[in-house]
Amino acid sequence: MSTLDETDVRILELLVADARRPYSDIAAEVDLSPPAVSARIDRLRESGVIRRFTVDLDRSQLRAGVPVLVTLALPADVVSEVREAVVAADAVEHAFVTAEGDVVFHARFRADAVREQLGRLVDLSLVDDYEVTVVSDAEWTPSLGGAEFALSCAECGNTVTSEGRSERFDGEQYHFCCPSCLAQFRERYEELEAGAG
Amino acid sequence: MSTLDETDVRILELLVADARRPYSDIAAEVDLSPPAVSARIDRLRESGVIRRFTVDLDRSQLRAGVPVLVTLALPADVVSEVREAVVAADAVEHAFVTAEGDVVFHARFRADAVREQLGRLVDLSLVDDYEVTVVSDAEWTPSLGGAEFALSCAECGNTVTSEGRSERFDGEQYHFCCPSCLAQFRERYEELEAGAG
DNA sequence: AATGAAAGGATTAAGCC
DNA sequence: GGCTTAATCCTTTCATT
């Protein structure tokens, strides 16, 4: 397991705050040379920790439509198909799949054609039930407090060392400091999944 | 209101895809010089359309906990207070307020303390009802909504939809939500011109 | 908004621990 | 392996038109 050190975490924090900050600036902050920072950032990109450099936009100023939150209740066999369609849609900004198999997404629709646009995005005949609510406020909060940023055990919160284990649950990677935390997490996760609600 | 033209929108799309892309690259894409691109981006930042340059991180590799989607049903008088608390919380990544006054947020909680962490984040005595579901997949897909990009009516400020009209006055393109706004704008524009000339 | 010159960053390559 | 320094190359900014 390639674990992030303190310097990686500080670099990430600086990039979250301003992704166009010069590498030479960052280098000065973390007491490294610019090439060393560049190499670390390359590694963070390759390992997938950094997905992309992007901009956070105030979409309310773009007036691209009404922001809505849509919940789709779906039969299990169409979840991934619907998820794909939703994620691919231009109007969709965030999409979540819950453990129950609901697909929840945040999108912008034209006020005069919400229903029509939804229908174009998803085959509504596949959907058991759906709900659309207008969102009056949406915020993305990428800034984080330092301690929470380190690679920590999903079960107990301790720092994960090279002795740690990783395992994938529902397509997502989790990290654990020891095998017993992994075992306990697995048990609890399955409980949570079964009894959600 | 200074309205965004097509070039601004294309610049934004390019930045959303890669915020560290050289301005000279962007300039070539939109047929402008690098200084012109730089000036436009400065304007977009000052006007608040661009909130910040940042990185999209795969937080599953960084932070302890299970991703959950929480819906809080709230009395109207505590919505903004709860919203503040939720947005300020470290574990919260996205927060939405619906028109009904529900607060919906996406966060990461440690598996052994979901209820406890929720309780520390929100005063549950204020909450009418709440629901926590495990999220098995979350994706952020920033886009500008493709061709339906947002323009506001130069006359009334409303969103310009496909029913809208555009017209050039003195070499500059203006957009209108409806023919009557266009007519009114033209009348006023000509008055203004006559008075000046 | 373009141009060209000057300043400022990023990246490469070679060498060190 | 990961770091540094120095040189090169590229990008951005500024003054001018």
Q: What is the CATH number of the domain that holds B83?
A: 3.30.70.920
Mean per-residue pLDDT, B33-53: 91
Structural domain span for residue A160: 150-197
A162 and A183 both lie in a single domain? yes
Mean per-residue pLDDT, B147-169: 56
Q: Between B12, B90, B135, which is nearest A144 by CB?
A: B90
B42 and B67 both lie in a single domain? no
Instruction: Identify whether A181 is part of a domain.
Output: yes
- Of the candidates B75, B63, B72, the one whose C-alpha atom is nearest the C-alpha of residue B122 is B72
Instruction: Identify whether B139 is part of a domain.
Output: no
A114 and A162 both lie in a single domain? no
Q: Do B55 and A51 touch (CB under 8 A)?
A: yes
Mean per-residue pLDDT, B180-188: 73
**Cβ-based contacts of B48 with chain A (< 8 Å):** 58, 61
B52 lies within 8 A of chain A by CB: yes
Q: What pLDDT sits at residue A141? A: 67
Q: Do A48 and B58 touch (CB under 8 A)?
A: yes
Instruction: Identify whether A92 is part of a domain.
Output: yes
A47 lies within 8 A of chain B by CB: yes
Please, what is the average pLDDT of chain B?
79
Q: What pLDDT sits at residue A172? A: 60
Greater confidence (A2 vs A78) lies with: A78
B1 and B37 both lie in a single domain? yes
Report which secondary-structure segment, H or E, holds A85. Answer: helix A79-88
B116 lies within 8 A of chain A by CB: no
Residues 6+ apart with CB under 8 A from B80: none
**Lookup result for tokens 């947005």:** B87
For residues B105 and B70, what is the distance between their CA atoms, to the nearest angstrom? Answer: 5
For residues B23 and B42, what is the distance between their CA atoms, to the nearest angstrom? Answer: 12
B128 and B63 both lie in a single domain? yes
- Of the candidates B174, B191, B170, the one whose C-alpha atom is nearest the C-alpha of residue B182 is B174
Q: What pLDDT sits at residue B123? A: 92
For residues A44 and B36, what is the distance between their CA atoms, to the nearest angstrom? Answer: 32
Rounded to a whole number of angstroms, the distance from the CA of B168 to the nearest CA of chain A is 21
Instruction: Identify whether B6 is part of a domain.
Output: yes
A122 and A162 both lie in a single domain? no
Q: Which positions in strand D are less than 7 Å from the protein's CB atoms? A: 2-6, 10-15
Please, what is the average pLDDT of chain A?
81
Q: How confident is the model at residue B158 (pLDDT cuts 50, 70, 90)?
A: low
Do you know the residue count of chain A? 197
For residues B161 and A28, what is the distance between their CA atoms, to the nearest angstrom? Answer: 48
Verify if strand D has an atom below 7 Å from the CB of A36: yes
pLDDT at A108 over 50: yes
- Of the candidates B67, B86, B68, the one whose C-alpha atom is nearest the C-alpha of residue B124 is B86
Instruction: Identify whether A142 is part of a domain.
Output: no
**CATH number of the domain to which B192 belongs:** 2.30.170
Greater confidence (A196 vs B184) lies with: B184
Verify if strand D has an atom below 7 Å from the CB of B11: no
A44 and A90 both lie in a single domain? no
pLDDT at A150 over 60: no
B77 and B111 both lie in a single domain? yes
For residues B81 and A190, what is the distance between their CA atoms, to the nearest angstrom? Answer: 34
Instruction: Identify whether B113 is part of a domain.
Output: yes
**Which tens digit of pLDDT belongs to each residue from A118-146?**
898 899 999 999 998 888 777 776 544 33
Verify if strand D has an atom below 7 Å from the CB of B35: yes
CA distances from A140 to A57, A58, A59, A84, B82 (A): 10, 10, 11, 22, 16
B159 lies within 8 A of chain A by CB: yes
B28 and B92 both lie in a single domain? no
B41 and B77 both lie in a single domain? no
- Half-sphere exposure of residue A140: CA atoms within 13 angstroms, side-chain side: 23
Contact residues, B window 67-86, toward A, CB-based 8 Å cutoff: 67, 69, 83
Instruction: Identify whether A53 is part of a domain.
Output: no
CA distances from B110 to A1, A181, B90, B141, B156 (A): 21, 12, 13, 26, 49
A41 and A67 both lie in a single domain? no
Q: Do B15 and A54 touch (CB under 8 A)?
A: yes
A157 lies within 8 A of chain B by CB: yes
Q: Do A64 and B148 touch (CB under 8 A)?
A: yes
The separation, in Å, between residue A20 CA and nucleotide C17 C1' comes to 32
Pair A182, A165: CB distance under 8 Å = yes
Q: Map residue A51 onto helix, strand or coil.
A: strand
Pair B185, B168: CB distance under 8 Å = no
B130 and B82 both lie in a single domain? yes
Q: How many domains does chain A have?
A: 3
pTM, to two decimals = 0.69
For residues B113 and B94, what is the distance between their CA atoms, to the nearest angstrom? Answer: 20
Verify if strand D has an atom below 7 Å from the CB of A31: yes
Q: Do A135 and B50 touch (CB under 8 A)?
A: no
Asked which of A37-51, A56-70, B22-36 is least confident by mean pLDDT, the reply is A56-70
Report which secondary-structure segment, H or E, holds A132. Answer: strand A129-140
Instruction: Identify whether A105 is part of a domain.
Output: yes
For residues B55 and B18, what is the distance between their CA atoms, to the nearest angstrom? Answer: 9
Which residues make beta-bridge pairs with B131? Answer: B71
Q: Would you give the DSSP letter of residue B144?
A: -
